[in-house]
Structure 1
Amino acid sequence: MTDDATPPVIVYDGVCLLCSRWVRFLLTHDREGRYRFAPMQSDSGRRLLQTHGLDPDSPFSMLLVDGNNGYTDTTAIARVLRGLPGKRWHWLSAALLFMPRRLRDAAYRLVARHRYRIFGRSEQCFVPTPEQRSRFMS
């Protein structure tokens, strides 16, 4: 995990309704404010994706940047869950990581490829409340 000077950043698809629900979930359960967020449509999100070898114009991955390390797909989800307070999230993270990575990432990519059709798409990125705004990068 990182030190307090460099909080972990989650790069997500800001117009994907599933991704926006994930961010809302994290805002609710990350009571300590550990994670910061950057929509992949933002300059900072694009820059982070490129830095970690991902194409910002064709992203199917969520990216977690923790220190100098970048994690994608189900590994990113598991690491984020592990960073939340409470044992249930640690157990869920362990259960996810117990499955073979090839299978769990294949399932993740299948959902990611069809996320707009299944969950919908917004014309604008998720808009945080004034209280949440400090946790978002532009």
Structure 2
Amino acid sequence: MNPVQPITIKERQDRATLRLEQMIARQTQERGLTPLRLEPETLLRRVRALDWSGEFLGEALISAYWKDENFNHSLYLLNNLDAEGFRLFHQILHIRQISGWNDDALWDLAIKIKELLATESGHVSSGQE
């Protein structure tokens, strides 16, 4: 007969980490892609340029972050993005599927982008509903 072994906090954390990694691996296989971590500085640089792709990507992030913000662009325009822009769009779609994402950091990024688009182009509301 095997005596019952106590489980330490470290073992619980290791098991939880393993389960999370297994869930992410299963999700990745089911979706057929590997979600990429968002590059916030690269995204901000693109939005600050205030060209059509910066607006497109900035509004995509706002829509992905807040549920009541619509993305009013044709996805056909993805064909016009360069490799970096296409990668950023892909990252935006998965901002909450990456382990370790931080809502405070996403909030700050979304607010910065919203302010940039509102003050420079005048067509996006700067207030959060």
Larger helix percent: 2
Fold shared by both chains (TM-score > 0.5)? no
With normalisation by structure 1, the TM-score equals 0.28
With normalisation by structure 2, the TM-score equals 0.30
